[in-house]
Amino acid sequence: MLKQLPLAMTMKDLNGNEKYHYIQKHLPTEPEFIEKIEAGDFMLFGDNCLVFFYKSFPTHYSYTKLGRIEDVEGYLKVINQNSDINISLHQ
């Protein structure tokens, strides 16, 4: 993932609990069953779908954990939950 940075993208809203974006490159995965998603989780679904979660909820899906947003409260204040967002990732 670090080799892809910096990366600018538009993330679409899905299910009123996450923002996602499919990247062109396929990334290595280490999927694991996640019983509960936490707001602020940053994960990889499959091998090319980046996902930021903004709500906590139980799930039956498997994800590769990539990281976590440190300032979850700040993230929740600025995210528009029902629309696309433009973000950039960098080291």
| Ramachandran assignment for 56, one of left (phi > 0), alpha (psi -120 to 50 degrees), beta (any other) | beta
- Residue 1, pLDDT > 60, answer no
Q: What is the pLDDT of residue 13?
A: 93
Q: What is the pLDDT of residue 4?
A: 61
Closest CA to 34 of 74, 75, 65, 66: 65
Give the residue-averaged pLDDT of 78-89.
79
The Cα–Cα gap between 27 and 44 comes to 9
Element housing 74 (H / E): helix 72-78
Indicate the pTM of the whole model: 0.87
Beta strands per DSSP E along the chain = 7-14, 18-22, 32-33, 36-37, 41-45, 49-53, 57-58, 62-68, 85-89
pLDDT band at 3 (very low <50, low <70, confident <90, very high): low
